[in-house]
Amino acid sequence: MAIATINPATGETLKTFEPLNDAEIAAKLDLANQTFEKYRQTSFSERSHWLQKAAEILEQDKADFAKLMTLEMGKPFKAAIAEVEKCAAVCRYYAEHTPAFLADVSVKTDASQSFVRYQPMGAILAVMPWNFPFWQVFRFAAPALMAGNVGLLKHASNVPQCALAIEDIIRRAGFPEGAFQTLLIGAAKVADLMADDRIKAATLTGSEPAGASLAVAAGKQIKKTVLELGGSDPFIVLESADLETAVVTATTARMLNNGQSCIAAKRFIVAEAIADKFEKLLLEKFEALKVGDPMQSDTDLGPLATPGILQDLDQQVQAATKSGGKVLTGGHPLSDRPGNFYPPTIIIDIPLEASIAKEEFFGPVALLFRVPDIDAAIKLANDIPFGLGASAWTTNNQESDRLVEEIEAGAVFINSMVKSDPRLPFGGIKRSGYGRELSIQGIHEFVNLKTVWVK
């Protein structure tokens, strides 16, 4: 993929970039290493001050950053504004809490003194996706920088201006030159970076194949990785649920980021007793959504990020119908306008044994399944290679306890949509990846837990 800004609402190529050559990459790695030796000696107070300043810049210029995101990957402008604000929040969260998160932990032993000390590792490579081009980066950068690491960002090739803007924010905030650098390179260069001794660890948010490729490259070098990959999150609605609220939330959860979110609700698993009503209400909500220019405030659904994503999604929908599924609404790209637009789509009656029923649909397509009871709902929710998040709706406490205990996922939200929060660890199991971001667990992923024994 070319490193370029291509407006997904129009298909127009707005700006292209030359990828860094080997000498330029080497220079940036050298700078990162040199910066780390001094930066690791800075105090939490200094890092906190710089990160608070980054939060201020994000808030002051949020309209500009939001417009850039909408221009490069098509998310509705109002959602882009919210994303920038969330980035400011994660900066403030780690600026405030890191001194406690990384304080020495004393352990009573037969030594005169024994404790655990948390120390930075060095240069951490972040391979980040286009769908949340600011948030995915800042939820890595904030804890990494506060821990004393330096960052190198290999962003998705279709959001290069977002990548450069983030580097500029870190620089303007006062962090030392080289503390956070953007590498405008293609995916083929990642394996070489992982083989370089100057890179100490890596994190990736993206597809299964991308995660597997990074894990292989890192494994050859015995380097730590954190992977946050795909998901086909279940949205379970049982008979006792507040149906009206569940349907409203289901619509929001499926259409989040134009349907292009790893934690978007994708498989709607509904108790048979209420399935007819849920289906009718969901259809009404989907058909009321406005598809259009993502810069307009009344737009609910913008374009998909690239023509390739549009094509892949449509092929999945056609495969679902060939397997026996029925399309209630939508089901084909919108050909009456330029850009990568796909309408809100609902598919029912997909056979559970069909392979397409277990795939991730990365766009505004909802798969609706009916089940007789909670046992069948949990079984269907777990019968998938992924395990990122799950939303479940019930007012029965016993059902709630079972859902929390038995659903195989990194997160279970009861009577709410799945979302990330700086205060809570985020990540998945199975083929959705490993490791955690955010909270205290996230900042501990890329530090050396050093045991100290003094006698």
d(CA 26, CA 201): 17
pTM of the model: 0.97
Rounded mean pLDDT for each run of 10 residues along the chain, 455 residues in total: 95 97 98 98 98 98 98 98 98 98 98 98 98 98 98 98 98 98 97 98 97 98 98 98 98 98 98 98 98 97 98 98 98 96 98 96 98 98 98 98 98 98 98 98 98 97
Is the separation of the CB atoms in 50 and 180 below 8 Å?
no
Residue 233 structure tokens:
């999150």
Burial 343-363 (b: 16+ CB within 10 A, else e): bbbbbbbbeeeeebbebbbbb
What pLDDT is recorded for position 1?
72
d(CA 421, CA 443): 14
Q: Please identify which of the residues 72, 167, 228, 279 carries the catalytic annotation.
A: 228
User: From the centroid of its chain, how far is CA 208?
Assistant: 13
d(CA 260, CA 357): 18
d(CA 43, CA 65): 29
Q: Please identify which of the residues 72, 262, 360, 437 carries the catalytic annotation.
A: 262
DSSP letters spanning 110-141: SSSEEEEEEEE-SEEEEE--SSSTTHHHHHHH
Kindly report the length of the chain.
Answer: 455
What pLDDT is recorded for position 124?
98
Catalytic-residue membership of 262: yes
DSSP letters spanning 44-101: HHHHHHHHHHHHHHHHHTHHHHHHHHHHHH---HHHHHHHHHHHHHHHHHHHHHHHHH
d(CA 406, CA 378): 7
DSSP letters spanning 201-252: EEEEES-HHHHHHHHHHHHHHT-EEEEE----EEEEE-TTS-HHHHHHHHHH
The amino acid at residue 115 is F
d(CA 307, CA 13): 13
